[in-house]
Structure 1
C-alpha cells in the first residue's frame, strides 16, 4: 500500500489515511469485506454497474473506497511504517464504509484477461476507537441526506464548470427571470434539461406519469449505459453552437423552446462534426425547414411537445443525411417515423 497523507477527523476522533493499493491487492484483501457487516447496504442489481465493469477493464480510475478499523492502536503519533504494518496484519478486520458496489463490480471483472491488476485503487482509511463513531461517519457518507438527483448533480456541474458569459450565452435562473428577464437570455432549467438528456443520450428524460424517484433511477440507468462518443462530442460544443446560432433571431426563438433545445443537444452528440461548423445562415435554414415540415402534422392527433422533442433529436442526429431535404421530403421522412 502507498500512503499519501495522514490527518485527523476531529468530529469522530479518528485518524484518516489517504493512500492506494492495486486492483490485485484490492481483490485479495478488500473484496472479502463486502458482506462482512449486517448494516451495510444490499448489493444492487449488477445490470446497474455493467458500464462501470467495462470502464474498469478499459482503464478508468475508480472513485476512492473508504474502509475503517475499530482500534486504539493507530493514533496521531503513528507514522507511515506503523500504519503499513497495522494494515498488512489486520486488513481482514476492517470493513467498508463507502464503496461496496464498486468493489463488487471489481470482483465481477477480476478474472478478465484485459484488466490491469496493477492499476491503482485509491483508499481513505479511517481508524477510530468506537464503532458508534464509525457508524455515524458511514451515515454521513451514504445516508446523511437524501442523495442528489441526477438533475441536481447536472445543475451543480453546470454551475461549477461552465462560464456561460465567456461561452457567449446569457443564462438566467427561474428566480432571476421572475425579477427581470434579460433580453435573449436562456432559461437555466432548460439547459439543465438539455444537459441531462445529452448525458443520457435520450431526449426523453422527464415523464409526469412516472414518479420522480423512479424517473431519476431510469435517467441514471440511461447515463451509465450510454455508449462512448468521440472526443469532439462535448456539451460545451453544444453551448458554443447555441451561442453562435442565436445570432439569428429565428434560430434564437427556435432554440429557446425547451423541446427544440433538448432535441438539438442530444442530436448534436451524434453529429457534432456535421453541425459545429455550420454558418448562422445554414442553421437558420435548417430550423425553418424543420418547422415547415413539423407544422403539417395534425395537432389534434399528436402530442406536440413530445413529438417536437423526438423529431428535433432525430433531425439533428441524422443531419448529414437530412440537411438537404426540402420540407415535403422531411415531412415524409418524419411521417414514416411516427407510423412505426
Structure 2
C-alpha cells in the first residue's frame, strides 16, 4: 500500500488519506468490514445488474472509481509510514466502515472467489490480485461526519433513508442509560416511562424532526428528503455530536418538567373535573413527555428556533432548565395540556400528527424568549393550543 496524499476535511474535522493498494491487500480485510457494516443499503443480488458486468471487467483489469472508507479511534501521528498504516487496517477491521463502495467490494470478492475456484485460471488470479485499487480513507471521523459523508456520497443512488441511517448509526445507545434516562429497544410496550425509560424509536423520531424542522413523520424518505436533511446538517457544528446534544437537551427539559410536576399522578377526580372524555394522554410528565408526539414536537420546535436565530446552539438552552423549575409549580399546567390533547383527539382526523403539531407550538412558546409564554408552562400550554387552532381551523 502507498499513501499518495493526505489533506484535512475541515467540514467534518477529519484527515483524509488518498492511497493505492493492490486488490490482494484490500481483500485481506474487506470481508471483516462487510460484517461490521450496518449503515449501507443491502447487496444488489440480481445477475442482470451492471455489477455482473463490472465483475468481468475487474478480472480483465479495469480501473474502478476510488472506494471511500472511514477509520475510527486511530492514534494518528503527524507522519505515518505506508507499512504502519496498512498494518493498522489489517489488525483493526472492526474500526473500518465503507462510506462508498459497498457493492463494488462485493463484486471484488465475487471476482476473486470465482478465479480462486477455477484451477485453470491461476495466472489470471495472480494478475487480478496485483491490480491497483484507489481508496480514500477518512481517519478519526465522528458519527456526524460518517452520516454527513454517507449522505453526500450516495445522493445519486437509492440509499437508506437518512432517518434509517441515523437509527443504525446510534443503535449502540439501545439498552444503555444516557444522562439518567434508559434508552430501550424499539419493542412495543417495553419502555416504562415511570422508570425514566424512552423508546429508542421515539428518540430517533425526535431527532429526525429536529433535522427536518417538521414534527410530521416521514413515511417514505426519498432523495429530495435526504437533500433537505443535508442542507440542515451543513449548518451544524462538527465539533460535537448533534444527536447526543439533542438528546441531552430534551432530557434536561424532561427532568425540569418532572421537578415542576412532582411525584403524584393526576387523579380520577381531576380527570373528571377537566371533563376529559377518553383515556387521558398520560397521568404524569413521564408518560406524556416520553412519547413520539412530544419528542417530535420538541425536535421541530428547536429546529425552527435555530432557523429563526432565536438560539444558536443547544448550549443556549443550558440556563433555562433551572428557570423553568423556579418559575412554575404544581400540576395544573399538565391537566390543561391533557385536556387540550383530549380535545385534539376528539376533533382531528389524524390524531397523532395533530398532537405533534400542538407539542411543537407548546415548546416554541415555552422556549422562545421573544414570546410572552417564555418559561411559563401555563401560558405555553394555552398559547401553544391557540397557535395550533389557528393552523387547523
* TM-score of the pair, normalised by structure 2: 0.45
Aligned-partner Cα distance in 1 for 2:4–2:188: 42
- Partner residue in 1 for 2:392: 338
Question: The residue matched to 1:196 in structure 2 has which SS?
Answer: helix
| CA–CA distance in structure 2, aligned partners of residues 287 and 256 of structure 1 | 14
Structure 2 residue 325 is matched with structure 1 residue 279: yes
Partner residue, 1:220:
226
Q: 1:193 to 1:328 in 2, by over 3 A?
A: closer
Would you say 1:259 and 2:293 are equivalent positions? yes
Q: Distance in 1 between matches of 2:211 and 2:167?
A: 12
Shift of 1:197: 1.9
1:1-340 matched pairs, under 5 angstroms = 15=1, 17=3, 19-21=5-7, 61=13, 64=16, 68=20, 96-98=65-67, 130=128, 147-160=159-172, 165-175=177-187, 183-184=194-195, 185-207=197-219, 210=220, 215-226=221-232, 228=235, 234-235=245-246, 236-246=248-258, 248=261, 250-269=284-303, 270=305, 273=317, 275-277=320-322, 278-279=324-325, 282=328, 287-297=334-344, 299-319=346-366, 320=368, 321=371, 322-323=373-374, 324=376, 325=379, 329-339=383-393
In 2 relative to 1, CA 222–318 (structure 1 residues): closer, same or farther, beyond 3 Å?
A: farther
Provide the residue aligned with 2:141 in structure 1: none
Query: What is the deviation of 1:130?
Result: 4.2
- Would the aligned equivalents of 1:237 and 1:276 in 2 still touch at CA under 8 Å? no
- SS class of match (2:66): strand
> Aligned equivalents of 1:229 and 1:290: distance in 2?
32
Any gaps of 5 or more consecutive residues in structure 1? 1-14, 24-55, 73-93, 100-123
Q: CA deviation at 1:229?
A: 6.4
In structure 1, distance between residues paired with 2:296 and 2:189 = 20
Q: Partners in 1 of 2:352 and 2:391 — Cα distance?
A: 16
Do the aligned partners of residues 162 and 298 (structure 1) sit closer, same or farther apart at CA in structure 2, a change above 3 Å counting? closer
Unaligned runs of 5+ residues in structure 2 are: 25-62, 69-84, 87-125, 137-149, 266-283, 306-310
CA distance, structure 2, for counterparts of residue 135 and residue 261 of structure 1 = 45
Q: Distance in 2 between matches of 1:244 and 1:159?
A: 27
Whole-angstrom distance in 2 between the partners of 1:206 and 1:165: 27
CA-CA distance at 1:187 after TM superposition: 1.4
Count of residue pairs brought into register by the alignment: 236
* 1:216 Cα deviation from its structure 2 partner: 4.9
Cα pair distance change 1:202/1:98, threshold 3 Å: farther
What is the CA–CA distance in structure 1 between the aligned matches of 2:384 and 2:224, rounded to whole Å?
A: 31
Judged with a 3 Å threshold, the aligned counterparts in structure 2 of structure 1 residues 152 and 133 are, in CA distance, closer, same or farther, namely farther
Deviation at 1:334, TM superposition (A): 2.2
**Alpha carbons 2:206, 2:295 under 8 Å: kept:** yes
Three-state SS of the structure 2 residue aligned to 1:279 is helix
Partner of residue 94, structure 2: none
Inter-partner Cα distance in structure 1 for 2:8 and 2:325: 50
TM-score (norm 1): 0.51
Cα deviation for residue 314 of structure 1 reads: 2.4
Give the superposition deviation at 1:259.
Answer: 1.0
